Amino acid sequence: MKNIKRIIVLLITIFSVISCEDVVNVDLNTAPPKLVIDASIKWEKETTGSTQKIKLTTTTDYYSNTVPAATGATITVTNTSLSTPVTFQFVEDGQTGEYICNNFVPIINNEYKLTVLYKGQTYTSTSIFMASPDIVKTEQSIKPGIEGEDVYELKFYWQDNGAEDNFYLVGAKNANIVYPEYGALDDEFYQGNLMFAFYRGDNIKKGDKLEFSLQGITEKYNNYMTKLLSIAGTNGGNPFATAPATLRGNIVNETNPDDYPLGFFHLSEIDSESYTVQ
C-alpha cells in the first residue's frame, strides 16, 4: 500500500479524446521518525556463521520513496550464557545503516543480548539462539487449478522433535519473483512427526529455480511473524483500507520506554535447499 496510484480520467467527447492525469496528494500528519531495528542473526548450516549483519533504518512519511538509513549507532551483541560473557561489535559499513560483524560465534541454546546506542538512547533485547532441523526431502506434484489448468505444488519436509513444542519460520524464493514468501508454523498437531510446508501457484513452471528455507524460532517470534504476515496480506492493495496497528517487537528503549523501536531481535540456525522444478 506504499504506492499512490495515479488516477487517469478519460473524457471522451464527440470531437476529441482527451487524456488527463491527476496526482492526488492528501495532506497527512507525519509522526516523528521511529527507529527500525532489523536484527535477525541467521546461522546457515555448514558455515561458521561468523559474518552477521544488523540493519538500522527510520520510518518516514507516507509519500517518501526512500527508506532513511540510521547511521552513527553503536551496536553490540553479547553471549550472556558463558561464564565470562563475550561481546561482539557490529561496525557500520560506511553510512549505509548496515552494521557488520565478522567474528561472531553462534552457540545453540545460548542467550544473547542486543544493545543499540543511537542518538543518546539505549535499546536492548535478549533472545535464545534457536536450533533448526534439516530439510530431509522435497516432493513435487501437479494439481488441477481453478480453471482446470496444471498447478505445480512442492513440499519440503523436516522431522519435528517430539520432546518439545516447536515453532518454525519457512520461506520460499522463486527466482522469477522479486520477494520471498514466508509462513509461520507450529507443531501442535504434528508433535514428533514428519512435518512439511508446501509452495504452489500457477506462476511456477518447469525449469524454475526455487530456494526453500527453514528456521526454528521462539514462540514470541512466531506470534510476531504471524501478525506481521497477516498485516502484510490484509489490505490487498486497497489504498483506502484502514491502516494496521503498529506491531511491537521484543526490543525496548531503556532511555524512554514510550518511544519504542520497531523490529525484532531473533537468532536461529537456518537450513536451505535449492530445487529446480521438473
Per residue, the 3-state secondary structure of the chain, as one string, reads CCCCCCEEEEEECCCCEEEEEECCCCCCCCCCCCEEEEEEEEEECCCCCCCEEEEEEECCCCCCCCCCECCCCEEEEEECCCCCCEEEEEEECCCCCEEEECCCCCCCCCEEEEEEEECCEEEEEEEEEECCCCEEEEEEEEEECCCCCEEEEEEEEEECCCCCCCEEEEEEEECCCCCCEEEEEECCCCCCCEEEEEEEECCCCCCCEEEEEEEEECHHHHHHHHHHHHHHHHCCCCCCCCCCCCCCCCCEECCCCCCCCEEEEEEEEEEEEEEECC
Answer yes or no: is pLDDT of 6 > 80. Answer: no
Q: Mean per-residue pLDDT for 244-257? A: 89
The model carries a pTM of: 0.83
Q: Look at residue 5 in the predicted model and tell me its pLDDT.
A: 36
Q: Mean per-residue pLDDT for 244-249? A: 77
Residues 182-199: tens digit of each pLDDT: 999 999 999 999 999 999
Q: Mean per-residue pLDDT for 27-33? A: 66
Q: Quote the percentage of the chain above a pLDDT of 70.
A: 82
Higher pLDDT, 267 or 23: 267
In this structure, of 11-20, 28-37, 76-85, 212-221, the range with the lowest mean pLDDT score is 11-20
Answer yes or no: is pLDDT of 239 > 90. Answer: no
Please report which confidence band the pLDDT of residue 247 belongs to, taking 50, 70 and 90 as the band edges: confident
